[in-house]
Amino acid sequence: MIERIKEHAKALKPAMVELAQRAIRCPSLTGEEGEMSEIFLEELQKLGYDEAFRDEWGNIVGIVRGTEDGPTIMYNGHMDHVDVGDPSEWNGYDPYGGQMDISEIYNEAGDALESALVIHGRAAADTKCGIACQIYSGAILARLKKEGFGFKGNYMVSAVVMEEPAEQIGMIGLYEQTLPARGLTVDGVVSCEATSLKIYCGHRGRVELKVEVSGVTSHGSTPWLGVNAVNQAMKLVDAVEKRYAVEYKEDEKLGKSSIALTIINCTPGAMCIVPDRCNITYDRRLVPGETPEDAVREIQELIDRLHGEDPAFRATVEVSTVPRTTYTGKTVALPNIKEGWRIPEDHPFTAAAARGLQKIGEPVSYSYWDFGTDLAMICGRHHVAAIGYSPMQEYYCHRPVDMCRVDFMERALLGNLAIFNELVQLDKDGFRLP
């Protein structure tokens, strides 16, 4: 069976690469993934998946059912991507071109550059090349089953919407509504967020905080008659920077908690008028053990202190909640929260994935994402075991050098199946997080 898998992988590699290129050539900003979803859904149907469907949120799901009962492993990625930014920064490449050439790119360890065949374009590294690999790994299983080979468990692929804004709308809709409504369960998850063929075991949590500082308008020629909200806000910005320079929690694997001011603006924002509102957005990263409530409380403590020092200082803080609409027309407003999580490197689920890679001669190493993923909901909220494994590299995500190595894609095509074959042998305890 292993030899037959390798034969199919060699035969299907060109189609897998072509799917990744087609996906990159299809713009799919958040809320605009409709055309992208058609490409993936048609591919699943063409490749002989036992079931392929779109849910009401716009997520795409494909399932290859095993010949024996066993766990369902969901291989997951997201269809949306961030804006391309300034096209002139792309070194002559079309952000939606999907061009393929030999380029300088980091090695697997990420410590040296080397020449390799790569696919260029927005979302190559986040996560369209990874989804293409996952879809074609399932296609190999579908072919094997048709040829009479048996296997345990079910292989599920999910390409979800609206991951980039961080509320996890697509994943929440899929896992908490769609799958239960269809009588489907998921025992474990493998994400194709960028890992450079390593096994990724967690990331910090995230909460987006919205602060509004109040003042009083006055004519710009008589600022002493008003209270400048921007000037007041600077007091809070300074207090936040000072607090988190020394007060932070740290996880031995995930690193330090952090806070970053990402957006600031004021109103009315016009000539000759002192602003009476200053709005600040903070990106607060949480390590396990910290909660969004902790993050809100800490800012509120600073607000209370500043108000005590100056009664004219007034501000509020809350978790940002913005209504968003999927391409299928569903509108929902969810708090912008991602839970932090970490699966031990010696957990049965992680160990099984490592075993699978070792059996096909792949090196095994572990790491952790700097950014957040939809696994926050799966692991952090529902305590389902999960890892990351994919051919893409974090360094190239969201940047105008967005690209993915084709040789890594070929290795991931086999790696996905090697991991699957070991995960489906686990008992129920192997899928539980502490």
Encode pLDDT of 96-127 as tens digits. 999 999 999 999 999 999 999 999 999 999 99
Q: What is the pLDDT of residue 365?
A: 97
The model's pLDDT over 119-168, given as tens digits with 9 standing for 90+, comes to 999 999 999 999 999 999 999 999 999 999 999 999 999 999 999 998 99
Q: Do residues 223 and 297 share a domain?
A: yes
Q: What is the pLDDT of residue 180?
A: 98
The H-assigned helical ranges of 247-343 are 292-309
Overall average pLDDT of the 60-84 stretch: 98
**What are residue 195's DSSP bridge partners?**
none
Q: What is the pLDDT of residue 86?
A: 96
Complete DSSP assignment for 341-359 = EE--TTSHHHHHHHHHHHH
Q: Do residues 138 and 190 share a domain?
A: yes
Q: What is the pLDDT of residue 380?
A: 87
Q: What angle do CA 264, 269, 274 make, to 5 degrees?
A: 105
| Eight-class DSSP state of 125 | I
Q: What is the pLDDT of residue 145?
A: 96
Both tokens of 144, joined, read 């094997």
In a domain, 167, yes or no: yes
Distance of CA 74 to CAs 16, 17, 184, Å? 19, 21, 11
In a domain, 82, yes or no: yes
Both tokens of 338, joined, read 């991602």
The model's pLDDT over 248-298, given as tens digits with 9 standing for 90+, comes to 999 999 999 999 999 999 999 999 999 999 999 999 999 988 999 999 999
Q: Is the pLDDT of residue 68 over 90?
A: yes
Q: Do residues 425 and 360 share a domain?
A: yes
Residues contacting 268, CB < 8 A, separation 6+ = 217, 275, 276
Q: What is the pLDDT of residue 289?
A: 86
- Other CB atoms within 10 A of residue 109 CB: 10
Give the CATH number for residue 279.
3.30.70.360
Smallest CA-to-CA distance from 4 within 112, 151, 127 is with: 151
Smallest CA-to-CA distance from 366 within 201, 253, 189 is with: 201
In a domain, 330, yes or no: no
The model's pLDDT over 185-222, given as tens digits with 9 standing for 90+, comes to 999 999 999 999 999 999 999 999 999 999 999 999 99
In a domain, 396, yes or no: yes
Given 271, 297, 324, the domain boundary residue is 324
Split at pLDDT 50, 70, 90, the class of 433 is: confident
Give the CATH number for residue 407.
3.40.630.10
CA dist 268 and 310 (Å) reads 23
**What are residue 384's DSSP bridge partners?**
432
Q: Is the pLDDT of residue 434 over 80?
A: no
Q: Do residues 355 and 375 share a domain?
A: yes
Overall average pLDDT of the 8-14 stretch: 97
- My answer on whether omega of the bond before 127 falls inside 30° of 0, hence cis, is yes
Q: Do residues 12 and 159 share a domain?
A: yes
Q: Report the chain's C-alpha Rg in angstroms.
A: 24
Q: Is the pLDDT of residue 385 over 90?
A: yes
Q: Do residues 283 and 211 share a domain?
A: yes
Q: Do residues 260 and 152 share a domain?
A: no
Q: What is the pLDDT of residue 1?
A: 82
Q: Do residues 241 and 306 share a domain?
A: yes
* pTM assigned to the model: 0.94
Q: Is the pLDDT of residue 416 over 80?
A: yes
Q: Do residues 70 and 189 share a domain?
A: yes
Q: Do residues 141 and 65 share a domain?
A: yes
3-state secondary structure at position 59: coil
In a domain, 333, yes or no: no
Q: What is the pLDDT of residue 46?
A: 98
Overall average pLDDT of the 231-239 stretch: 98
Q: Is the pLDDT of residue 2 over 90?
A: no
Helix (H) or strand (E) holding 419: helix 406-423
Given 258, 290, 324, the domain boundary residue is 324
Both tokens of 86, joined, read 């300034």
Q: Do residues 99 and 128 share a domain?
A: yes
In a domain, 368, yes or no: yes
Q: Is the pLDDT of residue 223 over 90?
A: yes
Q: Do residues 175 and 225 share a domain?
A: no
The model's pLDDT over 304-359, given as tens digits with 9 standing for 90+, comes to 999 999 999 999 999 999 999 999 999 999 999 998 999 999 999 999 999 999 99
Range of the domain at 414: 2-203+340-431
Domain count, the chain: 2
Are 266 and 235 spatial neighbours (Cβ–Cβ below 8 Å)? no
In a domain, 237, yes or no: yes
CA dist 288 and 286 (Å) reads 7
In a domain, 346, yes or no: yes
Q: Is the pLDDT of residue 25 over 90?
A: yes
Distance of CA 282 to CAs 81, 223, 248, Å? 21, 28, 15
